[in-house]
Amino acid sequence: MKARKVSDGVYWMGAIDWDRRLFDALISLPDGTSYNAYLIQGTEKTALLDTVDPSRAEVLRAQLAEIDNINYVIAQHAEQDHSGSIPMVLEIFPQAQVVTNPKCKTMLIDLLEIAEDRFITVQDGDILSLGDKTLKFIYTPWVHWPETMVTYLEEEQLLFSCDFFGSHLATSDLYADEGNIYRSAKRYFAEIMMPFRTVIQKNLEKLNKYDIAMIAPSHGPIYLRPQFIMGAYQDWVSVDPRNLVVLPHVSMHGSTAKMVEHLIGALVEQGVQVMPFNLVVADLGELAMALVDAATVVIGTPTVLVGPHPLAVYAAFLANALRPKLKFASIIGSYGWGGKAVETLAGLMPNLKVKILDPVICKGVPKTADYQALDNLAASIATKHQEHNLV
């Protein structure tokens, strides 16, 4: 694909990775992704803002073959899906210099072995003039690495946001279709940004001081209406969760499955929304998305070798790592002769500042008293949600 014009002197470059299905050997990409670079041509200088994943370097090389010169390669983030082709660009344009912040410079030297004399470092708020175009660098730490920054093209009020506001979506659309992009952007937030939602709140406040006409992220399409994605982020990082229970579960011989089925019905009767995820087949990205809004997580697990099922361990580990705005947690499940499934799972979630509601653990198949205990758990969850005015 060739470069595509965004505005006078500003072009999208990069690659659409239609077939990629896994990121960091961890995050599933059901809709592929893109690595967006941007060419900014001023009357005096030309800058390339970010590059592409090394696996797509040749696509960028073909686009750059149409360009006379690059003076600056701006690195907003050291992760290799954006920085990994910087060495190639420096090889093609031997006079080009890498413009980045000191922390990112150190990481780029560590990760890519770029020579120290190729760098120009900038501080928060520094300006780089390209002639008739002015770039301002704004530090936005922890979206989602410590060195991340964004770049504001003052004359166009155009914000290049790198991972911030991005989406893993392969599409031929240069601009976001708001009807389609929401779920991709939310999934991206859930999987990548949610652990940093407190600092993201601060970065949103920092960006709110700027007049922004367009947001051009480094993954997914460009936003012509910035308030759409900035408003969504504001909602996702807000303090209050919704009246929602997320219920990841796994069952070996059906007893825990019966408990899960009963709890779902009891929660519905109590007016609580519930999203169950059978961990044997669940898309963990969908689970992460559900955790963005949930007030309560209940993990359903059988006891295996005196502990929780490994899939339940994975779910607890994931919830703990993503640090969603959960307020309550509980555990339900069945055991055969003993074990420490509850203690083990609860111990895996120290990052979650949640109140643990009484677990319901039964021996063998659930019986009348166990179903009553599940009804009580549902009632307790409903009461807690009402006390916090969750809707």
Give residue for tokens 């946001």.
161
Q: Is the preceding omega at residue 144 within 30 degrees of 0, hence cis? A: yes
Stretch that binds ligand FEO, among 73-81, 264-272, 285-293, 372-380 (CB under 6 A): 73-81
Stretch that binds ligand FEO, among 37-45, 76-84, 97-105, 256-264 (CB under 6 A): 76-84
CB of 33 to ligand FEO, least distance (A): 8
- Cα separation values, 125 from 135, 178, 322, Å: 10, 31, 30
Vertex 107: Cα angle to 106 and 108 (nearest 5): 95
Stretch that binds ligand FEO, among 75-83, 232-240, 271-279, 364-372 (CB under 6 A): 75-83
Residue pair 305/253 in contact by the 8 Å Cβ criterion: no
Tokens of 103: 């922390």
- Which residue lies nearer to ligand FEO by CB, 138 or 299? 138
Which residue of this chain has its Cβ atom nearest to ligand FEO in the complex? 79
- Which residue lies nearer to ligand FEO by CB, 107 or 214? 107
Binding mask 128-167 for ligand FEO (x = CB under 6 A): ----------------x------------------x----
Per CB under 6 A, does 219 bind ligand FEO?
yes
- Which residue lies nearer to ligand FEO by CB, 81 or 293? 81
Rounded-to-integer distance, Cα 45 and Cα 38, Å: 14
- Which residue lies nearer to ligand FEO by CB, 219 or 249? 219
Q: Among residues 56, 77, 118, 309, which is the contact residue for ligand FEO, using CB under 6 A?
A: 77
Tokens of 220: 């997914």
Rounded-to-integer distance, Cα 260 and Cα 301, Å: 9
Stretch that binds ligand FEO, among 3-11, 74-82, 312-320, 339-347 (CB under 6 A): 74-82
Half-sphere exposure of 289 (CA within 13 A, CB side): 16
Footprint on residues 336-365 left by ligand FEO (CB under 6 A)? none
Per CB under 6 A, does 81 bind ligand FEO?
yes
- Which residue lies nearer to ligand FEO by CB, 25 or 239? 25
Nearest to 154 by CA among 124, 174, 123, 125: 125
Stretch that binds ligand FEO, among 54-62, 78-86, 105-113, 309-317 (CB under 6 A): 78-86
- Which residue lies nearer to ligand FEO by CB, 84 or 333? 84
Per CB under 6 A, does 325 bind ligand FEO?
no
Q: Among residues 17, 50, 79, 191, which is the contact residue for ligand FEO, using CB under 6 A?
A: 79
Rounded-to-integer distance, Cα 337 and Cα 301, Å: 15
Nearest to 199 by CA among 287, 139, 121: 139
Query: 192: which DSSP letter?
Result: I
- Which residue lies nearer to ligand FEO by CB, 46 or 83? 83
- Which residue lies nearer to ligand FEO by CB, 104 or 354? 104
Q: Among residues 20, 56, 82, 197, which is the contact residue for ligand FEO, using CB under 6 A?
A: 82
Vertex 51: Cα angle to 48 and 57 (nearest 5): 125
- Which residue lies nearer to ligand FEO by CB, 23 or 72? 23
Tell me, by CB under 6 A, how many residues bind ligand FEO: 8
Alpha helices in the chain (DSSP H): 57-64, 80-83, 86-92, 102-112, 178-188, 197-207, 226-237, 255-269, 284-293, 310-322, 341-347, 368-387
Give residue for tokens 């001081």.
209
Give residue for tokens 């990069």.
14
What are φ and ψ of residue 169, in 5° steps?
-145, 115
Chain residues in the site for ligand FEO (CB under 6 A): 77, 79, 81-82, 144, 163, 218-219
